[in-house]
């Protein structure tokens, strides 16, 4: 199965599917549909007749139950997203495949002096002797979430090729635009038809998550005043300087590089501007809803303060909620977490139940009536040029999917 998973994964990452946060269309980038059409074709070639791709870029498919008609079991879904993060280039991915990894530093790109040092990435030692797939330092790898797609597709192929494998009705879903927080904006839960689902969008092997950040975005527009610098005294208002002053109002210790576990953060993700105009973008995250509200209020109060200091209208804020912590939606159906734990143990994988320091489509789906915890896809260092994934972790994720299906069929 590892060879088949690898073949699928390499094929999927060859398609550039970066989403576009500046686009208002769905999907945000038409190139995502190139992979969606590929997946639709492969699902039908497996013999899954009920497979479709709609106008919004959602691929949905059903594998009918082969259990006796009188045996009723829950309909279970498995979901991954086709888009890759726009944080790093996603076109022309040229993966390096390191077989029987020896536990030493990995040269990502010699010309750029990019080395993944074990001292800095000690988790590499967990994968000694395994096959590790890395980038070549020019792009991300897009294991987030094409590993999840390869794992679901491999499980589906196994089921369709082994009619003696007993299972209830299974739903498969692939979404666009997860990386920009719009993955399920137009997802039809009723049409999908699952009672419970799992996203395969987690990190290292064993991760199992049913808590995630509450999330918001903040975009701040700053109006400056440009005057010739030779005559600027008491007249110039430098929007760039105002932007840096605004950022200094936020607590330094609540930046991502200083937080872990349940600690939330303010993360400045973009700063563009000139003396005349500037724009700052943040993402705001916290697991605790009261702390989340406090963070949003602090942004609003900081804008108010800067407008009082520099004049009304100097700062303008667009603050938007993106998703919320799915914990309270999943806990009433905790058996779906317990099934995943058992499925991992059956595969020889030690479950690591932890909060997601991020979000998944499953967070919003849980609030839409589809309880949906998140399972590991197997990758590390997502969204950047140091991204990598062990092939054995992908194989175990596929095994876990099949075990969950077995458990629900009993």
What pLDDT, in 10s, does the model give residues 212-255? 999 999 999 999 999 999 999 999 999 999 999 999 999 999 99
The catalytic residues are 83, 178
For residue 181, pLDDT over 90 is answered with no
Same domain, 285 and 369: no
Boundary (domain end) residue, out of 281, 303, 322 = 322
Question: Taking the mean position of all CA atoms in its chain, how far away is CA 350?
Answer: 22
Q: Write the Ramachandran bin of 65: left for phi over 0, alpha for psi from -120 to 50, otherwise beta.
A: beta
Characterize the bridge pairing of strands 59-63 and 51-53.
Answer: antiparallel
Same domain, 97 and 194: yes
For residue 300, pLDDT over 80 is answered with yes
pLDDT tens, residue by residue, 243-296: 999 999 999 999 999 999 899 999 999 999 999 999 999 999 999 999 999 999
**Mapped to the 3 state alphabet, what secondary structure does 23-36 carry?**
CCCCCCCCCHHHHH
pLDDT tens, residue by residue, 75-106: 999 999 999 999 899 999 999 999 999 999 99
Query: What is the C-alpha separation between 381 and 387, in angstroms, rounded?
Result: 4
Same domain, 331 and 254: no
Residues 347, 349, 352: CA angle, nearest 5 degrees: 140
Same domain, 92 and 103: yes
Boundary (domain end) residue, out of 271, 289, 322 = 322
**For the chain, what is the mean pLDDT?**
96
Q: Write the Ramachandran bin of 341: left for phi over 0, alpha for psi from -120 to 50, otherwise beta.
A: alpha
Predicted confidence at residue 28, as pLDDT, reads 96
Predicted confidence at residue 320, as pLDDT, reads 94
What is the CB-side half-sphere exposure of residue 128 using CA atoms within 13 A?
8
Same domain, 93 and 178: yes
Predicted confidence at residue 310, as pLDDT, reads 96
Predicted confidence at residue 1, as pLDDT, reads 86
Give, as one character, the DSSP assignment of residue 193.
Answer: -
Same domain, 173 and 28: yes
Same domain, 192 and 47: yes
The confidence band for 36, taking pLDDT boundaries of 50, 70 and 90, is very high
Residue-number span of the structural domain to which 122 is assigned:
2-212+325-409
Of 151-155, 310-314, 322-326, 332-336, the least confident: 322-326
For residue 359, pLDDT over 80 is answered with no
pTM reported for the whole predicted model: 0.87
Predicted confidence at residue 200, as pLDDT, reads 97
pLDDT tens, residue by residue, 99-152: 999 999 999 999 999 999 999 999 999 999 999 999 999 999 999 999 999 999
In the three-class reduction of DSSP (H, G, I as helix; E, B as strand; rest coil), residue 309 is classed as: helix
* Residues of the chain above pLDDT 90, percent: 94
Predicted confidence at residue 358, as pLDDT, reads 79
Question: Are the CB atoms for 394 and 378 separated by under 8 Å?
Answer: yes
The confidence band for 357, taking pLDDT boundaries of 50, 70 and 90, is confident
Average pLDDT of the segment spanning 171-181: 94
The CATH number of the domain where 269 resides is what? 3.30.70.360
CA distance between the termini of the chain:
24
Same domain, 146 and 288: no
**Which are the contacts of 231, defined by CB distance < 8 A and separation ≥ 6?**
none
Same domain, 51 and 101: yes
Predicted confidence at residue 360, as pLDDT, reads 80
How many structural domains does the chain have? 2
The CATH number of the domain where 360 resides is what? 3.40.630.10
Same domain, 335 and 401: yes
Same domain, 176 and 257: no
Predicted confidence at residue 323, as pLDDT, reads 87
Boundary (domain end) residue, out of 322, 339, 356 = 322
Beta bridge mates, 318: 219
Same domain, 316 and 338: no
């Amino acid at each position: 199965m590892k060879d088949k998973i690898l073949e699928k994964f390499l094929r999927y990452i060859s398609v550039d599917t970066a989403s576009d946060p500046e686009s208002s269309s769905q999907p945000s980038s038409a190139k995502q549909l190139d992979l969606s059409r590929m997946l639709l074709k492969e699902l039908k070639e497996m013999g899954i007749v009920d497979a479709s791709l709609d106008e919004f870029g959602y691929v949905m498919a059903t594998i009918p139950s082969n259990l006796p008609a009188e045996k009723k079991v829950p309909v279970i879904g498995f979901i991954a997203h086709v888009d890759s993060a726009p944080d790093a280039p996603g076109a022309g991915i040229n993966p390096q495949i390191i077989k029987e990894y020896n536990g030493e530093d990995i040269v990502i790109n010699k010309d750029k002096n990019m080395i993944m040092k074990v001292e800095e990435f000690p988790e590499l030692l967990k994968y000694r002797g395994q096959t590790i797939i890395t980038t070549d330092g020019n792009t991300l790898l897009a294991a987030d979430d094409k590993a999840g797609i390869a794992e679901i597709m491999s499980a589906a192929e196994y089921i369709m090729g082994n009619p003696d494998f007993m299972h209830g009705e299974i739903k498969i879903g692939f979404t666009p635009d997860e990386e920009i927080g719009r993955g399920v904006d137009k997802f039809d839960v009723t049409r999908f038809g699952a009672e419970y689902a799992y996203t395969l969008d987690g990190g290292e092997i064993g991760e199992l998550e049913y808590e995630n950040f509450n999330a918001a975005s903040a975009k701040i527009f700053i109006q400056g005043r440009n005057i010739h610098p030779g005559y600027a005294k008491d007249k110039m208002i430098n929007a760039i300087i105002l932007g840096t002053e605004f950022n200094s109002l936020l607590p330094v210790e609540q930046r991502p590089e200083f937080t872990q576990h349940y600690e939330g953060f303010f993360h400045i993700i973009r700063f563009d501007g000139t003396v005349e105009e500037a724009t700052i973008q943040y993402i705001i995250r916290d697991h605790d809803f009261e702390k989340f509200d406090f963070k949003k209020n602090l942004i609003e109060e900081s804008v108010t303060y800067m407008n009082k200091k520099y004049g009304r209208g100097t700062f303008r804020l667009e603050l938007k909620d993106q998703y919320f912590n799915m914990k309270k939606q999943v806990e009433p159906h905790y058996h779906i977490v317990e099934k995943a734990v058992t499925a991992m143990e059956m595969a020889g994988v030690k479950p690591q139940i932890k909060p997601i320091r991020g979000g998944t489509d499953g967070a919003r789906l849980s609030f839409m009536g589809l309880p949906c915890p998140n399972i590991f896809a197997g990758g590390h260092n997502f969204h950047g040029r140091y991204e990598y994934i062990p092939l054995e972790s992908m194989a175990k994720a596929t095994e876990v999917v099949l075990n969950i299906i077995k458990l629900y069929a009993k």
